[in-house]
Structure 1
């Protein structure tokens, strides 16, 4: 067996949550790209539909209730320095309720809304790729 993303390419999902011209980003503490600002998301569990995984991950990480989701793009990223390889389906929504909060402080200790044209200096490859498709 092995671990997805390190022993073989992992399947992930990500969600751009939009509010007007701003997108919600969380700062990562774990590899790959520790310290980068990233859209919410994570790995797809065995036998879990990708659309269900992205909703689950987004709600677990942000505390928001997610409504309608649309497919945006596929993002494949290899991180030789971290030993990770991920293929992720990226989705987008502006349909949500609630206010975001820190739900997993050990993994995602801070968040912010960032204008799509004024993203932070250290942004994940997934986020850069996804934002280019908006």
Structure 2
């Protein structure tokens, strides 16, 4: 059973738009993960202030190696959020790019077919 070229082109375009949309969703999730990471990194934690927004001349001023604030920070959670953003960004970028390329390819094929049709009937 053979499908018509129009049906094949429509299915190809629909699949490409679906890929692009999923890529955009995954990139949005990546952005949300980065915002969460920034929130966790920049907000005060426990009884300690954020190391970025400190009144000390440097972030390490007045700290010792066995500082209780350094022990309070939940680094595995921060690194987990950051690590989770890597595969979502890679897969999202690949899906978005391949979907966009498929849409452009489909539009080019449709324009080419239209030129061929007008050339067959007009010339």
- TM-score, normalization: structure 1? 0.17
Higher relative contact order (CA 8 A, sep 6+): 2
Greater helix share, structure number = 2
**Structure exhibiting the larger radius of gyration computed from Cα positions:** 2
- TM-score, normalization: structure 2? 0.18
